[in-house]
Structure formats: structure tokens, C-alpha cells
Structure 1
Amino acid sequence: MANKYLNFISDEHLMKCIENLHKSYTKAKANVSKKKFYNNKIDTIKLTFDAKFNDLDEETLIKTEINRQIDKSINNSIGTFHEQILGGIRGFEMGNLSGFDIKAIDNTLFADIKNKHNTMNSSSAESLFQKLAKYADTYKQAKCYWVQILAKNSFNESWFGEINGKEYSHSRVYKISGDQFYKLLTGNENAFFELYTILPQAISDYLANKKEDESMNNSALEEITKSSISSKRSILDKITFENYAYYSGFDKLK
């Protein structure tokens, strides 16, 4: 029976990938309590500028910050989504925390996948090159790739250059854009585009067949609002006080 969505992975695998990402969305959005909201120190200096420059009231300001934190968490899951999609292509598999993200079953390809081209600093880039070069040296037939799903251009080229003052090159270490990597693994020049094209319908079909609805209970704003009223501080001052009361002078916030 022909696939409904894509010809390079099964419909069942695609739906499983969508389901896994949906679970990540649900987990990220579920019950953002004040404690969870405060896990990373809140930059109330930035929030002050956001409020004034973007003309936001305090409630909208905090909702925006909560959504920013949720979005940051979800961005990491998008890279995993691509790993799972690519790992479902015949002849390839996911690394499952083995040091690589995708490999050919016959060890002729190893890849590390980054969702965006600018997610690494120089130290991370150096470490990644060394890791890929080690795979290339261990597996003499292997080509090893730094994959940038969302790249600034479409390319498949040798990765060489200066990183942290050192020159790096290897005959079988490459960097490659998302569209070219999908093409490489599927043999289909437009595979990445086809994934993009079918996603709206595939997601709708997944949601239509999903039985239960998860209820969201984001309590952070409610908790902060109550404590700001009881302390007679503004919401922003209350957040600042609860995050930085140990800073000199901040315990005097009224």
C-alpha cells in the first residue's frame, strides 16, 4: 500500500515523530508554576525595557516571558524531530545518545544535526569537528557531516577552516544544509520541501485521531499576581525581589 504522506518514510513513522514532538510541546506548556518559571533567573532589567519600549502591561509582559521560556524548550525538540524523521529512512538509524545523531547502518555515514546554523560557539565547533574527524579515522569508508537543518545557503561541502586559532581539515568531514542532507539520505532532491508541504495535513490528521485533550494549567502568573498583591509590590518588582533579594539594595523594593 502506497504511503499517504512521504515516499521515504512510512506513514506510521511520520505519525510517531509528530506524536513525540506533540508530547514535547505538551510537557513544555504544562503547569508552568512560579517555581518552574524561576528555574532560570529572570532578567528583570530586560523585562523593564520590554515593558516600556513595547508598551506592554505587566500581565502581558509575564505571559510573553513564559511563552519565551516555553519556546526555548520546544526549539530543542525540533532538532530531535528531524533526527527521528531521518532515522526512519531505510538504511539509517538514530544514535540514541551514542555520540552521533544519525548514522548509516553500514557505518558509511555519521552525522551531527543542529537545527540552526548559529547554535554553536567556537569551542563547540572545534569539539564537533574533532568528534567527526575521529569517526572518519575510525571508519575508513565513512563520510561525516555537520548538518545545519536551517542554514543560510544550500550546500554540501568540505568543512575546513580556522577554529580557535587552529586550522582544521579532513578529506571526509563535511558540512551540509538541511535540504541537501535530506536529499543525500533519500535520493530525492525535494525531500525536505516535501516534508514541509505535507506537515499541515499530517499534523491535522494526527490531532483529529488523538482521543484525549491535555489541559494546560500555567499557574505562574496567578501565583506571582497573588504574592504581588499581598506584598503591595508591582508584579515586576515582586519578580525582581524574589529573584534578587540577596543583591545589595534589592531587599528595599516596595
Structure 2
Amino acid sequence: MSTYSYGIDFFDDATLETGIDTLLTRARKKVDPYKNVVDPFAILFQAAITYSKISNWQRLELARQSNKSLTNALGDFHQAMLGKLPGWESTGTSGGLVDLKHPLPFGVRQTPTLAEVKNKFNTMNASGQLKQFETFQDILRIPEYKSYTCYLIQVIQQAPHDDIPWKIPGRGEQENIRIISAPRVYALSTGDDQAFAKFLRAVIQVLEQRHGLTFDVEDEHALTDLLARVPGFSH
């Protein structure tokens, strides 16, 4: 029997805990500061920029590699969790036309939906955006998907873009190729405008209870300030 201990009703405990455990396992994988040929110039300038001792370069390199692992793991985490929302399914991380499918009517156009998930607005450069846009165009030419809408879902946006045509340089607008924020997807999928904020709170609880995160009043204030700087996030 499913349990719901973290203040949300759209992910049960097992789904949320498994998603977070998987992310942390990937992000904590062993890193090697000597994986690449050492660049002494980079080490010198990095030490100057961060006001660190050169003897600490290993720690800095480990932090850099760990952050890269975390960034990659976060994208898969958000894809997996979005795929567990009502009406959605993830295609997994082994490839496929897109990351997510929603076979029932969704969004402004109320059509079945295919979606690609990106953790941040700057995950793709200009050529990557063009390639993704053209991929969506190709998908929508397939008879099976002609009535669908393709979405780019962004977790962290530079500015709020919620269910509007995706505009990229060199391509005209198409009503069936759109951009939307993850908070908006959570809201539309659950019927709760605060669903994404509640999801964030639930993640904090899991990290506290299962992974040793400490979260005090000072952290609360810091998080509130941080969220105020992220478009589309509420707290």
C-alpha cells in the first residue's frame, strides 16, 4: 500500500525516495582529479580567482567534477519525476524520440503531447536549440503524431515562458511547438498551482530524513532569497 509522508499526494514515498536516491548515487560517484591532463595555468588562475591555496587544487577539481555529475543527474531526475505526474510517462534515459509523453489532452491546445526536458534555460546553445526545434518538426510530420503538440519543458527559466510558442532565431512560430516551465507542468497535471513548491519542500524533507541534510532558520531565509531570484518559482 502506498504511503504519502512528505506533504504531497502526486508522488508516493517510494517514488520520491527512489528518485532522490538514484540522483545522489550518480552524483556521488567516485571522481578522479587526475582524469584529465593537469593544466598548471588553470590551477594558478583558479586559485587566484577563488582566493585559494594552490595546494587545494585537488579539492577544487573534485568539486568541479562533482558539480558536473550533479548537473547531469539532475536532468534525469526531473525527467523521471515529471514522468510520474498524472497523465505523463517517461521514455527513460536510453533514448527515444523525446523524453516524455502525455497521451491525453494537455495544455493550451488540449492535444496529446510529447516533451523534451531541460534543467536550465542555457542547457542548449543556439545550434542545439535549432536541432531540437527541427527534431520536433520532424516528429510532427510522422502521421501518428500530426495531432500532437511538442513542448520544451524548462525547470529553470531565464524569464517566465508558460505554454507559448517556442521562438528561436531563424524559425517562424508554430503553435504546435511550445515552451513551458516545469512548475506550470506540475500545476496543470495536478490541479494545484503550488504543486512544484510542495515538491521542493518534499525533496528537502527526504534529504533531511534520509541523507543527513541540516536545514535551519538561516537556511530557510537563504532558500527564500534564492527562490525569489528564480523566475516561476514560488515558496
- Do the two structures share a fold, i.e. TM-score over 0.5? yes
- Verify the 8 A CA contact 1:154 1:180 in the aligned structure 2: no
After superposition, where does 1:130-145 map in structure 2 within 5 Å?
Answer: 130-138=134-142, 139-145=145-151
- Verify the 8 A CA contact 2:100 2:116 in the aligned structure 1: yes
Instruction: Describe the SS at the equivalent of 1:167.
Output: coil
- Find the counterpart in structure 1 of residue 230 from structure 2: none
Deviation at 1:168, TM superposition (A): 3.4
* Segment drifting more, 96-105 vs 123-132: 96-105
* Segment drifting more, 86-95 vs 133-142: 133-142
Alpha-carbon RMSD across the aligned residues, in angstroms, is: 2.1
- Verify the 8 A CA contact 1:136 1:173 in the aligned structure 2: no
C-alpha distance in 1, partners of 2:113/2:56? 48
- Return closer, same or farther for 1:125/1:86 CA change in 2, 3 Å cut-off: same
The number of residue pairs the alignment matches comes to 199
- Return closer, same or farther for 1:53/1:205 CA change in 2, 3 Å cut-off: closer
**Deviation string for 1:42-69 (max 9, x for gaps)?**
4432221122343322222221121111
Q: TM-score, normalised by structure 1?
A: 0.71
1:70 aligns with 2:66: yes
Q: 1:15 aligns with which of 5, 8, 17?
A: 17
Of Structure 1 and Structure 2, which has the larger fraction of its residues in helix? Answer: 1
- Find the counterpart in structure 1 of residue 108 from structure 2: none
Instruction: Describe the SS at the equivalent of 1:168.
Output: coil
Q: Percent identity?
A: 27
Q: 1:100 aligns with which of 87, 91, 98?
A: 98
- Verify the 8 A CA contact 1:83 1:102 in the aligned structure 2: yes
Task: Give unmatched runs, 5+ long, in structure 1.
Answer: 209-254
- Return closer, same or farther for 1:39/1:60 CA change in 2, 3 Å cut-off: closer
- Find the counterpart in structure 2 of residue 158 from structure 1: 165
Deviation at 1:17, TM superposition (A): 0.4
- Find the counterpart in structure 1 of residue 47 from structure 2: 51
Letter in 1 for 2:137: A
C-alpha distance in 1, partners of 2:126/2:196? 28
Q: Higher relative CO (CA 8 A, sep ≥ 6), structure 1 or 2?
A: 1
Instruction: Describe the SS at the equivalent of 1:100.
Output: coil
Moved over 6 A (4+): none
1:113 aligns with 2:117: yes
